Amino acid sequence: MAKTLVIVESPAKAKTIKKYLGSGYDVVASKGHLKDLPKNQNAVDVANDFTEKYEVIVGKEKVLQELKDAAKKVDAVLLATDPDREGEAIAWHILEEIQDDKLRVERVEFHEITKKGVDHGVQHPRPLDINLYDAQRARRVLDRIVGYDVSALVWSKLAFGLSAGRVQSVALRLIVDREREIEAFVPEEYWNVSAGLSAPSGAAFVAKLAAAEGEKFEVKNGETAAFVRADLESASCKVAKVTRREQKRNPPAPYTTSKLQQDATNILHFGTKRTMQVAQGLYEGVDLKQDGGPVGLITYIRTDSTRVSDDAIAEVRQAIEKRYGKSFVPDKPNVYKSKKNAQDAHEAIRPTDVNIHPESVKKHLKDEQYKLYKLIWNRFVASQMTPAVYDRTTVEIQAEPTRGDASRKSYMLRSTGRVLKDKGWLEVTEGQRDFAGEEDAAADGEAPEPTAAAKAAPVEEDSDALLPEMNEGDVIRLSTTPGVVTEQKFTQPPPRYNEGSLVRELEKRGIGRPSTYAEIISKVQQRAYVEKLPGGAFQPTQLGKFVVEGLVRSNLDFMDPNFTAQMEEELDEVGAGKIKREQLLKKFYKRFRQQLEPAKKLASWKPPSEKTGIPCEECGEGEMIKKWGKNGYFLSCSRYPKCKATRDLSNSAQAVRETDITCDKCGKPMVIRTGRYGDFLSCTGYPGCKNARPVPLGVACPQCGGDIIEVRPRKKGGRTFYGCSNFNAEQKCDFKLWAKPVATPCPTCGAKFLTRTAGKKPMLVCATKDCGFKQEVPEEDEAGLAGAAPEGAAAGDEGEGGSAEADAPSEPKAAPKAKAEPKPAPKAEAKPKAAAKTAEKKGATKTPSKSKSNGRASA
């Protein structure tokens, strides 16, 4: 009974922490959330101060029992879940389950998984924070209210099985609004005019047209460009003004979560979810083969603060002097201010030990771990180095046309060049030029406000070259080559968002928090509301546009980015104890219901059907009607349901579809490919990694939490069924169904999935005993439910850190075509037992009757 039990979230983190704490402690993992709201309308009692009814997550019963058993063997428990409001909620739920009058339970925080960080956390325990827990509870209830009620609205107005989320829908609106801007954009013609000139020394340089007759001048058409060109070719030129000054480029602050995600997208081409997965591994610990155990390489990864501890600053200043020289160390440490609404609960993301150089541990890291660690290390070291210094020279050339019919009396040409005089912090960035957040960089306080002259001056592109020596009054000659050059251009529409720029926009508007960005972006892709184009840009699908247009027409407050940002601030105030949880929820819910009821009475959001005049080839009597379903436009016979002839008109089907599933062999993302046996999961590392396996249907097994897959019989004439992917695991699961499960919660009992029955009238049926929910599949959804691509992962909501479960189903998304086509996945045999038991508490799930045939997993 002398030991202390430490409970963390991740098994990998538990292993690292155990090494530092020694024999006096037992360290176990909760593996994320243990309790969550059940999937039904009774999970939140609105009339009773929004009281929640939490239940143990299916599949987590064994983990919870192990924690209870471990707690009975000790006198003290330290709850060391992640230091954020999701971690606080997990700690509270564990406390509720293990609480005992004789047991001392305290909360500790590990901001870095190092000997120093772990010892500091253990030596500074605190009581559990009820305000922080209330903030998480409020966020969870808000997401549940919106997730259920608004998804039901979308179902009724657009298509069954669709979903909407409180924050995800706002992010989708930003993408759709940007697409509307692009569609409405009308290019405007303009011309660039430049001249090749020779300095008195004979050295050549180029100057661009900036003004005419003392005023800013823009060339809008070819006719004007021709006049200007003729004027300049006849002009006499002299130097009107030379400005020489030293220009400093301050280093950016160390990484916050959003800035790390932006640079990882733009520099490393990592998606936000992948970035957070790799960063989580670096935080939890990597075995460097030095002292027999893993080492946490970076500090906590979910932060909006640029603050760094005094010890870390002292350490990095010493490291800079040792590696780069004393001249690279500023006289005083660089200080950075966090953004206005930052919670500032954690330090910036930095190496736990700056003396662990990326190159020294490269052989112990996976390639993506090395790249991300190097990015973090470089940024942190650069943040405490001297500014880069340039010699910047600007020369203004006065050109006076000599031809008699000149359109202007005088022109001003400008040339700007700069040369790097002192590399400063650029010494560590290895040629990388642009960094997220650099525009906010200000060492030793805030950046000075630009002068009025600087604001009025036109933006010129600096040439990274030194201009030839010139002085005011010097005569300048026009070079024969290239002479005066006029180049036609057209204004460009605003660029589409990619993952990095969308994170930047969400942060700028105050939508979401560091722990939610990756999950928000993941959801808009999973639900087929956007497509990722080659190069990574997001383009909304027609379905995504219809969802946003319908929700905006419904005048729901949460679709307003400003309202959502204000809600995030109020959740922060709940966490700080300034607002009561019930106060926030009552205020939101009252107005939400007032807006939702009129929205239910609006007309359908679907585009009207159109006659095509095309005769039906199948029955010869009907006419094909163009209709819209959630999988796109299609043609349907006018005699439906007597004639079920259809033809797909969408072009969304692609050979490869991205997923959020990672390869269990090499850790790279997996994609869905189609082979001779149908769809299968294939590693993107092919042919280096040939791992392949059946595609999950996006439905969790109610018996063990595994993935449900389609299982085809080995013998000819056998019947296809749907079973758990763990049928061949160490602890075999024998759950199976004859009807195909669909990742849509039951609107009556809240069961996590419905099943689709075949027949003349396909039906969606709840598999829970005594529920009785049935609904005929609408014509426009029939083809999609019958043959829709399986989802890449189980649905999730906008929970922070991806720990909470789904409130509404997600959808598959298309992906760019892959270069290589691997072999189909190996056939996996399944031997399901008869009449499999289920883990549903409120009724037995219907399962197939006894079958003598063996099955074969489709790959």
Just list the catalytic residues: 300
- Answer for the pair 229, 213: CB distance below 8 angstroms, yes or no: no
Sheet containing strand 740-742, strands side by side: 740-742, 754-757, 763-766, 774-776
DSSP H or E stretch at residue 531: strand 530-532
In three-state secondary structure terms, 55 is strand
Rg of the chain in Å (alpha carbons): 31
Ramachandran angles phi, psi of 571, nearest 5°:
-65, -40
**Residue 652, class by beta-carbon neighbours within 10 Å (0-12 exposed, 13-18 middle, 19+ buried)?**
middle
Name the token pair of 254: 């160390």
Residue 394 bridge partners (DSSP): 243, 416
E strand segments, 346-504: 388-400, 411-422, 475-478, 484-490
Residue at 284: amino acid letter: E
| DSSP states of 506-523 | HHHHT-S-TTTHHHHHHH
- Of the candidates 35, 40, 36, 37, the one whose C-alpha atom is nearest the C-alpha of residue 842 is 40
CA distances (Å), 685 to each of 571, 654, 664, 667, 670, in order?
A: 41, 19, 12, 9, 8
In three-state secondary structure terms, 170 is helix
- Answer for the pair 756, 774: CB distance below 8 angstroms, yes or no: no
Q: How far apart are CA 75 and CA 331, in angstroms?
A: 51
Name the token pair of 741: 């499960």
Q: How far apart are CA 529 and CA 512, in angstroms?
A: 19
Q: How far apart are CA 634 and CA 116, in angstroms?
A: 62
Q: Cα angle vertex 291, ends 285, 292, to 5°?
A: 75
Torsion of CA 228, 234, 237, 240, to 10 degrees: -40
